Structure formats: structure tokens, C-alpha cells
Structure 1
Amino acid sequence: MSATESRLREEICRYGRSLFERGLTPGSSGNISVRLDDGGWLVSPTNASLGFLDPARISRLDAEGNLVSGDKPTKEIPLHTALYQSRREARAIVHLHSTHAVAVSMLPEIDPQAVLPPLTPYYLMRTGGTALVPYFRPGDPAVADAIRGLAGRYSAVLLANHGPVVAGESLEGAVFATEELEETARLYLILRNLNPRALSPAQVDDLVAHFGLTLPEHRGGCGG
């Protein structure tokens, strides 16, 4: 095993424990994957709590998704596969069952192309915006087609009645973006029906120009 792979195994465990201990994904929910230089992956095993992962038991998959070593991988492999295929720059994916993001996914007013309004600059800077994917049974391969249908425009996807799936150019980046999505969902629920002042189009344009952001279409403020 290379030093890089060993380090990534440790990082998956460290970030997983941090997310679990802060209540961002309960029980054995959620999963994390990292793409390796040879095209294979490291991914958290099925029915494993992110708070108690063992680096030696992390699932190692080859480039075709076949298990090479470690425990049986998460059943959510199809959604990870689809996001990696559509976001070629992605090196890591975090999927959680975080409370506020799941709650937002159930609201009737949510725009599937812009789940959350631009309430803060860091939401746009970390996630670039979030799409809503309809409900699928956990592990259903059909979710892959829904994610591929977004044509790679989103690094953050919210699965209806399920939770967020976020890709990043590093594991740290994916974790930070997932946390920002959850905090923005929390803000949305606090401010819902209060007509909050979101960032204006001009302010969004300024962020795009200053930080070189690539954003899907954003529309509207908090719904009611």
C-alpha cells in the first residue's frame, strides 16, 4: 500500500469521526469515498458508522468498481459512480443524512435547480449551488441516471427525503462544502417565511468575478 493511500484511509476515518461526533450523520448512515490516482477508490463499508471506521477495513475498489480488499462497500456506490463520471475533477464525495438538509429536501416550494437561495457568500463559494434529485430507494441504481442527467453542472446534490451528496477536488473540500450546505439549510429553515435579504444578483456576480466561480442558475429568495 502506498503512503498516499495509507494517508487517505486515515483521512476518511478522521473526517468521518468528526462528522459523526457533531451529529451530522447518525448511526451507520452516510458514506465517504476518495478516488485514487489509478482510477480505483477507497470507500466506507456498508453498515459502518462514520464515527468508528477502521483504516484497514476501508473498502478498496478497482477502476471498474470491483472490490479488491477490505469490507463490503456501501450500497450507495451508484450515486458515487455517477457523480465521479459527471464531475471529472472530483477526487472525493461525501454523502450524509444531515438533519437540516434532509428537512429542506421535503419542502414543497423547493426549486430543483436551486435548492437554496444565496444566503451567504460561503454557500456559493463552497458548493456553487445545489440541485434536488427526486426520491429513490437507497442503493437504487436509477439514482445514477438522475445524477448524470444534471450533466455535471452541480457538485452538490440533495436527494429527496434522504440527504446531500457533495463532490470536491479533495476530501477536505468535499467535507467543508457539505458542512456549508447543512448550515445554509439550517439558516433557510430558521428564516423560512420571514422574507430574508439574500445576496443580490450584483453581489453574486461580484463573487463570481472575484473568485472565478462557475455557478448553475440561481433564482429567488426563501420560499413560503
Structure 2
Amino acid sequence: MTETKLRDDICRFGRSLFERGLTPGSSGNISLRLDDGGWLVTPTNASLGFLDPARISRLDAQGRLTSGDAPTKEIPLHTALYQTRAEARAIVHLHSTHAVALSMLPEIDPKAVLPPMTPYYLMRAGQTALVSYHRPGDPAVVVAIKGLAGRYSSVLLANHGPVVAGETLEAAVFATEELEETARLYLLLRGLNPRYLSPEQVADLVRVFGISLPEQDEHHH
């Protein structure tokens, strides 16, 4: 896929996410890893709804800006996830309302912020780990993400928002949306004693669809 097409895709998906209220103002950022080891990254203080393909930041393999506007300040989040997820080619980070709300609840499990509610959440996002609160730009968040050892393709930063990796930009966007919708379901059902998927139903999904979940990975180690 040409770099021009990739730039257009970033703008197209960014606009879609913004217009549906999934990341307000100038929040959120998107990155794509290129074949030469460099990246395309959305610029700092840029609204995902109004991106210009020509001004998207182009970084070389060492992270130096080679063209476009200055990149998002949240580059370290992207770097950390890429370094632990070798197959990842795209990362989406949003400040989506329901996922951020979920990140503040006292009862959530840091190893799996959501229970197994729907097949599609497990198929698209797998499981999501909680990373404790760090101020934006704090290098300690990189250490926290690397500490997950690549077992998770999606993490939820407490009081901040989700960071989701995918093998394509479309996959990363769809997984992020699935995480947000499942967080919304969780909040709607909180306190109502809903029926979640049973361990047997989860095992069936893992077997049939080849889903890799962190617990399965740990059992194999």
C-alpha cells in the first residue's frame, strides 16, 4: 500500500472516530509503522476530525521527524506498544468516554478490565490490561506497558484512555471501537447481575477462532 494511501486512511479513520464523538477536541492519536522502519503519526494538538494528509508527521526508524508537523507528544505510548507487539503495524489512542469511565471504577481487574461479555470483544480486542495513572508524557508509562511483555494488544490507561495495536489500521480502529462499546455495555449493566460468557463459551471461541488471550499465553509458557 502506498504511503499516500496510508496517509489518506489515517485521515479517513480519524474523521470517522471524531465525528462519532469517540475522541473530543484535539485528543487522541494514530500511528502507522512503515516498511522502512519509519512511522506516520498524527501531529501534536491536531483534531482527528480535521487532519491534512500532507501534514501528518513522518518519522524515521530512530524517531526523528523527517517531514510534516511536529508529532503527538504521546509518541512514547506508541513506541512501547510497538516494541512489545512485533506484529503490530498500527496503534490508535483515544480519550473515549466509556472506556475512560471504566478505567476509574474500583472493581475492575487490572489483568482484564472487562469480563467476557460478547464474542466480538474477545475476537477483536482480546483482553485489555489496566495501566495505573501516569501524567501525560510521564516516561514511567513506557515501563508499565513494557512490563506487560506484549501479552496484550490493548491497554487502558487509568483516567486517560485506551491504546490499541493492530496488524492493520482498520483492525486497530475496530478493536478500539469494540473496547469502547463493551465498556459502554458494562456501565449500562453495572449492578444488574448480567450473564457473561461462561469459561466454556470463552474456551469455545478461543478454539474456533484462534483467539490468543493472555491467560492462554501464560499457560503455554
Is residue 2:196 matched to residue 1:198?
yes
What is the CA distance between 1:152 and its match in structure 2?
0.2
1:78-100 alpha-carbon deviations (Å, 9 max, x no partner): 01000000000000000000000
Q: Which letter does structure 2 place at the counterpart of 1:167?
A: A
Inter-partner Cα distance in structure 1 for 2:151 and 2:82: 12
Q: Which letter does structure 2 place at the counterpart of 1:189?
A: L
Residue 172 of structure 2 is aligned with which of 165, 171, 174?
A: 174
Is residue 2:79 matched to residue 1:49?
no
Inter-partner Cα distance in structure 2 for 1:166 and 1:138: 17
The answer for the alignment partner of 1:26 in structure 2 is: 24
The answer for the alignment partner of 1:189 in structure 2 is: 187
Q: Which letter does structure 1 place at the counterpart of 2:208?
A: H
The 8 Å contact of residues 114 and 217 in structure 1, kept in 2 or not, is answered as: no
Q: Which letter does structure 1 place at the counterpart of 2:132?
A: P
The answer for the alignment partner of 1:114 in structure 2 is: 112
1:125-156 alpha-carbon deviations (Å, 9 max, x no partner): 00010000011111222111100000000001
Q: Which letter does structure 2 place at the counterpart of 1:73?
A: P
Aligned residues: 216
The answer for the alignment partner of 2:98 in structure 1 is: 100
- Indicate the SS of the match to 1:217: helix
Q: Which letter does structure 1 place at the counterpart of 2:86?
A: R
Q: Which runs of 5+ in 2 are unaligned?
A: 217-221
Is residue 2:148 matched to residue 1:155?
no
- Indicate the SS of the match to 2:2: helix
Inter-partner Cα distance in structure 2 for 1:186 and 1:95: 17
The answer for the alignment partner of 1:5 in structure 2 is: 3
RMSD: 0.9
- Indicate the SS of the match to 2:108: coil
Q: Which letter does structure 1 place at the counterpart of 2:70?
A: K
Q: Which letter does structure 2 place at the counterpart of 1:184?
A: T
The answer for the alignment partner of 1:70 in structure 2 is: 68
- Indicate the SS of the match to 2:165: strand
The 8 Å contact of residues 102 and 164 in structure 1, kept in 2 or not, is answered as: yes
Inter-partner Cα distance in structure 1 for 2:180 and 2:204: 24
- Indicate the SS of the match to 1:207: helix
- Indicate the SS of the match to 1:90: coil
- Indicate the SS of the match to 1:16: helix
TM, length-normalised to structure 1 = 0.95
The answer for the alignment partner of 1:60 in structure 2 is: 58
Q: Which letter does structure 2 place at the counterpart of 1:112?
A: P
1:76-87 alignment to 2 at 5 Å? Answer: 76-87=74-85
Inter-partner Cα distance in structure 2 for 1:135 and 1:167: 20
Identity over the aligned pairs, expressed in percent? Answer: 83
The answer for the alignment partner of 1:36 in structure 2 is: 34
